[in-house]
Every structure is written in structure tokens, then in C-alpha cells.
Amino acid sequence: MPKATAVWLVENTSLTFDQIADFCKLHPLEVKGIADGEVAAGIKGANPISTGQLTHEEIEKAQKDPNHRLKIAPPKVRLPEIKTKRGPRYTPVSRRQDRPNAILWLLRNHPELKDAQIMRLVGTTKTTIQQIRDRTHWNSASLSPLDPVTLGLCSQIDLDLEVQRAAKDRPAAPVGEGGQTLLPADVSTSPDYQAPEEEEEYGGYGAQRRREEEERAEADSVFAKLKSLKGPEDEEEE
């Protein structure tokens, strides 16, 4: 109530028109009209001190210094911020027919996403997601995977955020799986150590030596067969 506050300040303080106009967000001529009785004639003044907008000390300070601008008093009671629970995403009516295609795309390209994440992205139900996953949806035969970002059902930022959350929730692979590790030197150099088949097949000095021996044996057997095929005339010519 800016005019009601200005009426009270005009009637009960010696503040300048500019000070009152600055505090009440009015024009100085409006404040002058209030003082002359030409503006806000039927408005009852509202005490800004009782409403907690100003303090006596602030008004006295402004009355002593015409250049001082009134400042709103800080609130005595601070209400805690209420966090509203985010509801399901609203999908326009024109886009609702595209939701099954978007769900199919998410299930194929991001199988790590949970049903709750898909529900947040597309604005669907868990039953619909399960039907599309089990191919029991009434329109499963004509569904085609389409990107929900392209369809306008969600933004790329929201999709990336949900994918990152799903990656964080994914359990880490146990140590020792997913790759070979080097054995300690005392184990690999031991006389009793026998290289595994994989190591003999793909590398190592022993494996290379074995391959050379096998190739040499094959070559000798080939030459022996050729020699046996030669007749006595061939031997005399030699």
C-alpha cells in the first residue's frame, strides 16, 4: 500500500517529498499532492513501523539528514525455504502420442536408466514402460524408437543429467576383472612356472620357439614326401 504509507509519513514525519517518494516508489509530485490534499483524499494512512517496514531510528536518521534514503527494516522472523516436490513432467496433448516411441528409444539406447528416471524424462507411467519392455503394449507392432529430445519431450541437459546419475549408481567392476595383470617377477621366473595357454598363444619367447620348431618339422615332412615321390631316373640325374 504505497499511497497509504505515504499518507502516514506525510502526516506524522518531517521527511522530504523526495525521501517519501523514493521509499514508497511514487513520484514527488504525487507526494506533494497528498500533502496538499489533492491526492489520496479518502485513503487512511498505514503505519510502516507497525507493519515492520521501518523503525523509529531509521525515520529519525532520515529526518536529520535530507539526503538519507529510507531503508526497509530486516524481517524479524525468517521463514524456512519450502522445497516443493517436483511433480511429473507435463506433456502437451500433441506430443503424448510420441511417448511410447521415446520410451522405446530410451530402453534401447540407455538400458541403465531406471523406470523412475524414464518417468521423469517423458512423463509416463511405470505400467507403460513395462508394457513396452515386454512387447505387450497395444501398439508395439508400429512403435519405432525416436529420440525424446528431438520430439521435444525433454531437453538434452535433462537427459544427460539422468544418464550421469545412472552411471554413478552403477556398481563398479571388481578388481581383477576386465583385463590381464602382470605377474610378480619371482613368480614368472620360477622354474616351476608354466605359462598359461593364452600367454603361449599370444606372446613369449617359449611360444615363439615352439612355433619355429613346428614350422621346421612341417617343412622337413614336406621335403621327405617330395623325395619319396622321385623315381630312380631322377636320382641318377642328381
What does the pLDDT read at residue 105? 93
Structure confidence by residue, pLDDT tens digits, 217-226: 776 776 676 6
Q: Is residue 208 part of a domain?
A: no
pLDDT bin (cut points 50, 70, 90) of residue 52 is confident
Q: What is the mean predicted confidence (pLDDT) over 169-181?
A: 54
Q: Which of 21, 43, 64 is the last residue of a domain?
A: 64
174, pLDDT greater than 90: no
Number of domains in the chain: 2
The one-letter code for the residue type at 6 is A
Instruction: Say yes or no to pLDDT of 195 above 70.
Output: no
Q: Residue 229 domain-assigned?
A: no
Residue 75 resides in a domain? no
- The rounded percent of the chain whose pLDDT value lies above 90 is 10
Q: Say yes or no: 43 and 99 in one domain.
A: no
Half-sphere exposure of 85 (CA within 13 A, CB side): 2
Residue 233: pLDDT band with limits 50, 70, 90: low
Task: Give pLDDT, residue 104.
Answer: 92
Residue 204 belongs to some domain of the structure: no
182: pLDDT strictly greater than 60: no
Q: Is 188 a domain residue?
A: no
For residues 77-106, give the mean pLDDT: 74
Q: Is residue 78 part of a domain?
A: no
pLDDT above 90 (res 38): no
Lowest mean pLDDT segment, chosen from 18-32, 61-75, 182-196: 182-196
Supply the range of the domain harboring residue 14: 2-64
Q: Which of 19, 44, 64 is the last residue of a domain?
A: 64
User: CA 152 to CA 76: how far, in whole Å?
Assistant: 46
The verdict on residue 174 lying in a domain is no
How is residue 94 written as a grid cell? 500433441
Spatial contact of 15 and 21, defined as CB atoms under 8 Å apart: no
- Judge whether residue 124 has pLDDT over 70: yes
163 and 104 part of one domain: yes
Residue 24 burial (10 A CB sphere; 0-12, 13-18, 19+): buried
225-232 — which CB contacts under 8 Å span 24+ positions?
none
Predicted pLDDT at 101: 92
Helix (H, G, I), strand (E, B) or coil at 118: helix
Residue 210 has pLDDT above 90, yes or no: no
Query: Are 50 and 108 contained in the same domain?
Result: no
Q: Are residues 60 and 97 in the same domain?
A: no
Residue 27 CA to residue 163 CA, distance in Å, equals: 54
| pLDDT at residue 127 in the model | 92
Asked which of 36-45, 50-59, 73-82 is least confident by mean pLDDT, the reply is: 73-82
> Could you give the 3-state DSSP secondary structure of residue 60?
helix
Question: Of 20, 49, 64, which residue sits at a domain end?
Answer: 64
**What does the block give as the cell for 50?**
507497525
Same domain for 110 and 60? no
Residue 199 has a pLDDT of 44
Tell me the pLDDT of the chain averaged across its residues. 77
Residue 237 lies in a domain: no
